[in-house]
Chain A
Amino acid sequence: MSGVRVLVGTRKGAFILTSDGKREKWDVSGPHFAGWEMYHLKGSPADPNRIYASQSSSWFGQIIQRSDDGGRTWHQPGTPPGEPTTTPDGMPKGESNNFVYDTSPETGKPLTTHQWYDGTPHPWEFKRVWHLEPSLTDPNTVYAGVEDAALFRSTDGGKTWQELAGLRGHGTGPAWQPGAGGMCLHTILLDPSDPNRIFIAISSAGAFRTDDAGKTWRPINRGLHSLYIPDPTAEVGHCVHRIAMHRSRPGVLFMQKHWDVMRSDNAGESWQEISGNLPTDFGFPIEVHAHEPNTIYVVPIKSDSEHFPPDGKLRVYRSRTGGNEWEPLTKGLPQSDCYVNVLRDAMAVDSLDECGMYFGTTGGQVYASANGGDSWAPIVRDLPAVVSVEVQTLP
């Protein structure tokens, strides 16, 4: 019988929640990597047993973990458990946490600084991996979006990483500035119809696209309007919080910006606002129904200074029309005295016949819906603050 595996990253460890296709009873495994910040875990679409995880700490930096058995056991790529960590000649088998910015002349424009909060030049410094995006076809290929913003790729299962430096080097990089949460590359969308096309988003630089597998990039922010930057329609500087697409229609993108929910029907060439009747158009995640490309979901948050739902009511909003007309989904969600946040990577959908939805909160709840959002129930209530939620649909 088919089932689901929900991968939950929290501020103090990772948890794996599994259920059969009914999604009524759940097994909770964890904490894995207790005490570490688990920014993101994601399984390979090509091999569901292969899961990558970003483990980090302010004390000890970045670690990449990998599971080859669906999350039962983990190891740092290059050093399988129980095996020597070095080759016979004493060399390390992998450098899975070594993210080094490419400053070689071959990139054309080696970059050394971006803008700091006060507008002064600031050196690019690696801090952590925010998002891991496994290839759609090759379990050993995985992309990493990092802070300070850059895109890395591994083609050896996470053992070694190389920057796709054309992104930082395309021209606007020295003008990028961090948002309040840091200058992070947090969204990576791989186009299932075109292996050369990748979309990424950076806070607070904006959205970017490559059409040549990462060699060259350009900003795709036309139509965005951000009042918190000097030129509200600038080419870069927009605080994009999340982008989503449906795999059957990769030219249509949906965006939750710092403020504004947006849509593009031409692969990011231009954007239109679709906030419509939302109670507030601030928020972090945005998701698309697994089987209905025009059904999208957001979680409105009151404001950028009050990171909690309006009126203390936790409501997912659904649009079945690709935006503008939104309906609140409240059944099973707290409708009073709720002041949690839902972060950008903390919502996911499964692809079972009746689409399941999942999201985690900074209050440690993970809610699930087995009916496309019509009703919700918590899987767990008391985890550490949830940073990310991904789901694997298992055969």
Chain B
Amino acid sequence: MIRVTLPAHLRKLAHVDGEVKLEVDGQVTQRAVLDALEARYPMLRGTIRDQVTQKRRAFVRFFACQEDLSHEPPDAPLPDAVATGAEPFMIVGAIAGG
């Protein structure tokens, strides 16, 4: 069970409160988690990754275990603590502005 936290605007779009819990088959990577998230909540397609390129949107960040994983390759394994559900995979709207 993977735990995912979403920014408030995306929780509202997806009609969820609090963390999202997902089952991910196979290796737990950024791509696998986002694929599972978008399959469950299609209204989030395009809000985290570009619809066409599948690249992370510029003002979205991925954090876990006190680390910024935004620039990790999408197919790199996520930390064991995320894969086991001990820690959430955090999708964060970047601070932008003053």
* B1 interface contact, C-beta 8 A: no
The segment from B22-30, B46-54, B63-71, B74-82 found at the interface with A is: B46-54
- Kindly identify which residue among A61, A81, A99 contacts B47, using a CB–CB cutoff of 8 Å: A61
Residues of A within 8 A of B43 (CB): 63, 76, 79, 85
- Beta-carbon nearest neighbor of A99 in chain B: B51
The segment from A89-97, A249-257, A289-297, A382-390 found at the interface with B is: A89-97
B47, A63: Cβ atoms under 8 Å?
Answer: yes
Contact A58/B96 with A36-B9, A98-B51 known, Cβ cut-off 8 Å: yes
Chain A's interface: helix, strand, loop or mixed, by majority? loop
Smallest CB separation, B5 vs chain A (Å): 15
Residues of A within 8 A of B51 (CB): 95, 97-100, 126
Name which of B42, B45, B47, B50 has the most chain A CB atoms within 10 A of its CB.
B42
* B10 interface contact, C-beta 8 A: yes
Contact A59/B39 with A92-B45, A97-B51 known, Cβ cut-off 8 Å: no
* B86 interface contact, C-beta 8 A: no
Smallest CB separation, B49 vs chain A (Å): 9
* A35 interface contact, C-beta 8 A: yes
Segment 42-98 of A: residues with Cβ below 8 Å from B: 57-63, 76, 78-79, 81, 85-86, 90, 92-95, 97-98
- Kindly identify which residue among A81, A90, A97 contacts B45, using a CB–CB cutoff of 8 Å: A97
Residues of A within 8 A of B40 (CB): 85
B42, A58: Cβ atoms under 8 Å?
Answer: no
Name which of A35, A58, A61, A78 has the most chain B CB atoms within 10 A of its CB.
A61
- Beta-carbon nearest neighbor of A98 in chain B: B51
- Beta-carbon nearest neighbor of A82 in chain B: B15
* B57 interface contact, C-beta 8 A: yes
- Beta-carbon nearest neighbor of A91 in chain B: B42
- Kindly identify which residue among A60, A78, A85 contacts B48, using a CB–CB cutoff of 8 Å: A60
Contact A86/B42 with A36-B9, A58-B59, A59-B60 known, Cβ cut-off 8 Å: yes
B93, A90: Cβ atoms under 8 Å?
Answer: no
Residues of B within 8 A of A126 (CB): 51-52
A155-183 CB mask vs B (1 if < 8 Å, else 0) is: 00000000000000000000000000000
The answer for the CA separation of A63 and B48 in the assembled complex, in Å, is 12
The answer for the CA separation of A90 and B42 in the assembled complex, in Å, is 10
A98, B45: Cβ atoms under 8 Å?
Answer: yes
The answer for the CA separation of A92 and B42 in the assembled complex, in Å, is 6
Residues of B within 8 A of A94 (CB): 42
Smallest CB separation, B55 vs chain A (Å): 11
Smallest CB separation, B90 vs chain A (Å): 15
- Beta-carbon nearest neighbor of A86 in chain B: B42
Residues of B within 8 A of A59 (CB): 7, 9, 57, 59-60, 93-94, 96
Residues of A within 8 A of B46 (CB): 61-62, 97-98
The answer for the CA separation of A315 and B43 in the assembled complex, in Å, is 43
B45, A60: Cβ atoms under 8 Å?
Answer: no
The answer for the CA separation of A78 and B50 in the assembled complex, in Å, is 19
Residues of B within 8 A of A63 (CB): 13, 43, 47
B9, A60: Cβ atoms under 8 Å?
Answer: yes
Residues of A within 8 A of B7 (CB): 59-60
Segment 32-46 of B: residues with Cβ below 8 Å from A: 39-43, 45-46
- Beta-carbon nearest neighbor of B47 in chain A: A60
Residues of A within 8 A of B13 (CB): 60, 63, 76
B9, A57: Cβ atoms under 8 Å?
Answer: yes
A61, B52: Cβ atoms under 8 Å?
Answer: no
Residues of A within 8 A of B96 (CB): 58-59
Contact A100/B52 with A61-B46, A79-B42, A85-B43 known, Cβ cut-off 8 Å: yes
Residues of A within 8 A of B94 (CB): 59
The answer for the CA separation of A258 and B46 in the assembled complex, in Å, is 33
The answer for the CA separation of A35 and B12 in the assembled complex, in Å, is 11
Residues of B within 8 A of A99 (CB): 51
Residues of A within 8 A of B60 (CB): 59-60
| 7 residue pairs, one from A and one from B, having the closest CB atoms | A92-B42, A60-B47, A59-B59, A59-B93, A97-B46, A76-B43, A85-B42
Q: List 18 A-B contacts (CB under 8 A).
A: A58-B59, A59-B60, A59-B93, A59-B94, A60-B9, A60-B10, A60-B48, A60-B57, A60-B60, A61-B50, A63-B43, A85-B40, A85-B43, A92-B42, A92-B45, A93-B42, A95-B51, A98-B45
Chain A residues within 8 Å of B, Cβ to Cβ:
35-36, 57-63, 76, 78-79, 81, 85-86, 90, 92-95, 97-100, 126
Chain B residues within 8 Å of A, Cβ to Cβ:
7, 9-10, 13, 15, 39-43, 45-48, 50-52, 57, 59-60, 93-94, 96
